A = this chain, B = another copy of it.
Amino acid sequence: MRFEASLASLAPDLTVFAPVRDSGMTRDKAIAFAEEKGLPIDVTRKSPYSIDQNLWGRSIETGHLEDIWTAPMDDVYAYTADPAGPREPDEVVLSFADGVPVAIDGQAQSPMEIIVALNARAGAQGIGRLDMVEDRLVGIKSREIYEAPGAISLITAHQELENVCVERDLARFKRQADQRWAELAYDGLWFSPLRKALDAFIDQASIHVTGDVRLGLHAGSAVVTGRRSVVSLCDYELATYDTGDAFDQSLAKGFVELWGLPSKIAAMRDRRAAG
């Protein structure tokens, strides 16, 4: 459906034929049909997972996963090693410029190269496995397994760099914009006017999301252990509590009184109303 919705925007004059859907073939029959016709599909009756995969991640569904109480068996995974396996921890420094990943361990690389490298290194540490029930566009829920070692590592680092470089109100609203953006992508509305407008918001919000984040990679987790930025909003002079403190604590008195004033007035009203 994502392809079809996208094509409708990209080439509205094309007619889409979706024979499996439009002729109502079941999964079993579609597999049989493909085998009969010699179509190169990666699914057999013996390995009945439905798998999508690309650079950004891999998703696996159906088979024994349809029983949502059953833990995934090891044979569903291809991008990630067993998180519990014994191995040495890894550590990586990711660099961003205006929100875009630009270097790994100090080596300038394209975003694609960085994803490839992270898929390998974070995947080797078992990072990026997700097992979740989600809401399909067509209105039903299904359980999906994802593997996205590079994506999860990048997002973890990028989120923390935003914590350092993005102002509070902007960061708070951006969560809503990010959520809506993700809904559009998931819902097949990549070529919608709303995505373009959200992209403009995000591009502006990403200016000065520039710096380095150090991640520890180990045992299934990507963990931020340090971040630095020449455009950080963490002003050491302001943030420290020691003698020489640049933050004027006395201002806080006026702030907190007015900050809490609407709630205080409402509480006084409620009390009076309750008699």
Contacts and interface: CB of A to CB of B under 8 A. Distances in A.
Interface of A: 1, 4-6, 8-10, 12, 18, 20-22, 24-29, 50, 62, 66, 68-72, 83-84, 89, 129, 131-135, 137-143, 160, 163-164, 166-177, 179-180, 183-184, 187-189, 191-194, 196-205, 208, 214, 216, 218-221, 223-228, 230-236, 238-245, 247-270, 272-273
Which residue, of A203, A255, A273, has the highest number of chain B Cβ atoms within 10 A? Answer: A255
B252 A1 contact: yes
A168 B227 contact: no
Contacts of A137: 259
Contact of A12 (B20, B133, B249, B264): B264
Number of copies of this protein chain within its complex: 4
29 contacts: A4-B256, A5-B260, A5-B263, A8-B260, A8-B261, A20-B249, A21-B249, A24-B248, A26-B242, A66-B236, A68-B232, A69-B228, A71-B214, A71-B225, A132-B160, A132-B224, A133-B164, A133-B227, A134-B163, A141-B234, A167-B262, A169-B193, A172-B179, A189-B260, A193-B263, A201-B201, A231-B269, A231-B272, A255-B258
B68 A226 contact: yes
Given A83-B219, A221-B221, A167 B140 contact: no
A215 B247 CA distance: 44
Contacts of A265: 139-140, 167, 233, 235, 238
Given A208-B273, A241-B50, A256-B5, A227 B68 contact: yes
A53 B133 CA distance: 34
B193 A167 contact: yes
Contacts of A168: 135, 139, 141, 262
Nearest to A143: B234
A25 B160 CA distance: 32
Contact of A251 (B10, B66, B192, B254): B254
A208 B138 contact: no
Contact of A83 (B140, B141, B191, B221): B221
Contacts of A214: 69, 71
Contact of A188 (B69, B216, B260): B260
